[in-house]
Amino acid sequence: MSDNKRPETMERITTPELANAFIDEEIAKLRAQIGEGKVLLALSGGVDSSVVAAMLIKAVGKQLTCIHVNHGLMRKGESEEVIRVFGEELGANLIYVDATDRFLDKLAGVSDPETKRKIIGGEFIRVFEEESKKLSGIAFLGQGTIYPDILESDGIKAHHNVGGLPEDVEFELVEPLKFLFKDEVRVVGKALGLPDSMVYRQPFPGPGLGVRCPGAITRDRLSALREADAILREEFEKAGLMGKVWQYFTVVPDFKSTGIKGGKRSFEWPCIIRAVNTKDAMTATIERVDWDVLERITDRITHEVDGINRVLYDLTPKPTGTIEYE
Ligand code: XMP
């Protein structure tokens, strides 16, 4: 990368017209850079990698191969959406790797947060490398780098250092979003026709639900977490909070308490709801969620999710809490 400074003349992309102009210009540049070459992209389904994928499909079509690694810590329906949008609707070359067992077996019994992150990050790189070795003639690697990643090289992504790719790859990098801020990436994604559920997706950490299942991950607690998270997202969307609240999710901690379900004593996990707002993720405040919405979510989670008998709302800003639990 020769120049990592956003050109001063570059206009802020705020409208579909400006997004289309940016897309046209970038596509010409991508074609010039890539020529007849082959490009590989790790497609998580997050905003940045999805927008890069859509741009590369427009620019070089089948010269692009996307690899989507399902580490078993995705939210409900996420991998299915990646397959539907990119594999079916946009007709991309998409390799889907269900590595759930591989990740969960490696994580079994591991409770230290940093060790969990290292296992997830390391395993992700290994799976990606194994898959890429099966392909031949790849010269380029697409990446969803955006401008804040360059500005804050010690920022969130670099700090957590998970979900990234090896730095010693022999491919030439293709980074069409590297001068864009997040809001601009969303405008571009919308102009490219990606669904709102992808374009306005809240941030989701590389280690996925793994950091929201504190301590040693078990399949049953992970499954309860995934179901509870899906209910929370559905109810927030119905209440008009999607895209308004910066990040909201559930956590299922590793302890049980007594309750009553179906007239019988139960001994099950609690589910914690966290909903925060922030500008840069360095500090965060709590969303004052409407009480009726919280009660509806509580009712649904406790009645629809196996293994959960209580719902708690986290009132802790950052600091003193971090946004995630691990
Ligand atoms: P914390 O928990 O440090 O999180 O307050 C700040 C923001 O970073 C996200 N996060 C991650 N993002 N890879 C990422 O790309 C990660 O490993 C990771 N861990 C946390 C978190 O969701 C929040 O938005």
Model pLDDT, residue 152: 79
Tens-place pLDDT, residues 202-257: 999 999 999 999 999 999 999 999 999 999 999 999 999 998 999 999 999 999 99
Please list the helix, strand and coil fractions of the chain in percent, rounded to the nearest 5, in that order.
Answer: 45, 20, 40
The answer to whether 6 and 147 are in contact (CB under 8 A) is yes
The answer to whether 247 and 287 are in contact (CB under 8 A) is no
Q: What is the mean pLDDT of the chain?
A: 95
Model pLDDT, residue 323: 98
- Among protein residues, the one with the nearest Cα to ligand 1's atom 7 is 281
The answer to whether 107 and 72 are in contact (CB under 8 A) is no
Whether the link from the prior residue into 320 is cis, omega within 30° of 0, is yes
Per residue of the chain (326 residues), give pLDDT as tens.
458 999 999 999 999 999 999 999 999 999 999 999 999 999 999 999 999 999 999 999 999 999 999 999 999 999 999 999 999 999 999 999 999 999 999 999 999 999 999 999 999 999 999 999 999 999 999 999 999 999 976 555 555 544 556 665 689 999 999 999 999 999 999 999 999 999 999 999 999 999 999 999 999 999 999 999 999 999 999 999 998 999 999 999 999 999 999 899 999 999 999 999 999 899 999 999 999 999 999 999 999 999 999 999 999 999 999 999 99
* Ligand 1 atom nearest residue 204's Cα: 22
Calculate how far, in angstroms, residue 270's C-alpha sits from the geometric centre of ligand 1.
Answer: 23
DSSP state of 86: I
- Residues lining ligand 1, Cβ inside 6 A: 156-157, 160, 162-163, 203, 205-207, 247, 281, 318, 322-324
The answer to whether 314 and 237 are in contact (CB under 8 A) is no
How far is residue 230 from each of residues 213, 258, 294, measured CA to CA in Å?
A: 15, 24, 14
Model pLDDT, residue 157: 58
Which of 73, 146, 156 gets mutated to test ligand 1 (max ligand atoms within 8 A of its CB)?
Answer: 156
Structure tokens at 78: 């996420």
Calculate how far, in angstroms, residue 304's C-alpha sits from the geometric centre of ligand 1.
Answer: 28
How far is residue 324 from each of residues 22, 182, 212, 313, measured CA to CA in Å?
A: 34, 20, 7, 14
Calculate how far, in angstroms, residue 248's C-alpha sits from the geometric centre of ligand 1.
Answer: 12
- Among protein residues, the one with the nearest Cα to ligand 1's atom 14 is 205
Model pLDDT, residue 3: 81
How far is it, in rounded angstroms, from Cα 185 to Cα 13? Answer: 8
Largest separation between any pair of C-alpha atoms in the chain: 68
How far is it, in rounded angstroms, from Cα 237 to Cα 123? Answer: 33
How far is it, in rounded angstroms, from Cα 30 to Cα 322? Answer: 38
